[in-house]
Amino acid sequence: MEKLRLGINIDHVATLRNARGGATPDPVRAALAAEEAGADGITAHLREDRRHIRDADMEAIRQAISIPLNFEMAATDEMARIALQTKPHAVCLVPERREERTTEGGLEVAADQTRLAHYIAPLRDAGARISLFVAADPAQIEAASHVGAQVVELHVGPYCDAVDEGRADDAAAELKRVTAAAAQAHDLGLEVHAGHGLSYTSVAPIAALPQVMELNIGHFLMGEALFRGLPGAISEMRRLMDQARAAAV
């Protein structure tokens, strides 16, 4: 089984910066610290309302780091222009509503296949690896395989919420859905990633899935960094991921 990669989302370093204005804490510094601590990639979501990451952050992060940059964004013309200018390693298309606190669900791919196929094509032609953030839903995964994506990132938030809230039966049911989705995506030739809400408590069963090649984690690790420091928070997550992977083998 291949080593599981860890992508670190640094959005909420920018959230803290923007709460007061000014230049600190610096998302670029966080990205470099995550890289030094062993992250395999950096994820940043440039939202339409710029509530955390800003345009200049994307370019500065891309230039500063030597590991891949995963550019999370809505499938809009504005974001396509910025992505083509920034030239990140990967683009992850996510749904976005301005009133939401965080991404609340997976991308609707099945009902939007023609538009997404045309939207994705120039990004792929420019060299970006295209990922779609989708629910663990067979129809969405099937559609993702038809529109030109190379990767699906499974939305594991419902599973993580059930674990965090002590709803064991619901957690088991959600894990079963994620397990089936990972197998389906892999069989369709898609690389499988997972993210949204993963914590030290919930990560092991997802890390143990053999089809999952990468986890993207942000909010939880930024919170833990207040107490452990960012290197310590990342190191503990890496330990738990590697331990679960080894046990699965």
Tokens of 41: 């990639």
**Catalytic one of 12, 35, 52, 72:** 72
Strand locations in the chain (E): 5-9, 41-45, 69-73, 90-93, 129-134, 151-155, 191-195, 212-217
Given a contact cutoff of 8 angstroms between Cβ atoms, the answer to whether 72 and 86 are in contact is no
Selected catalytic residue, list 45, 52, 155, 186: 45
CA distance 244 to 219: 21
| DSSP notation for 57-120 | HHHHHHHH-SSPEEEEE-S-HHHHHHHHHH--SEEEE----TT-SS--S----GGGHHHHHHHH
Q: Which of 52, 96, 196, 224 is catalytic?
A: 196
Distance (Å, whole) CA 104 – CA 155: 9
For residue 66, how many other CB atoms are within 10 A of its CB?
A: 6
- Asked about 224 being catalytic, the answer comes back as no
196 tagged catalytic: yes
CA–CA separation, 247 and 208 (whole Å): 8
Catalytic-residue membership of 118: no
Known catalytic residues are: 45, 72, 196
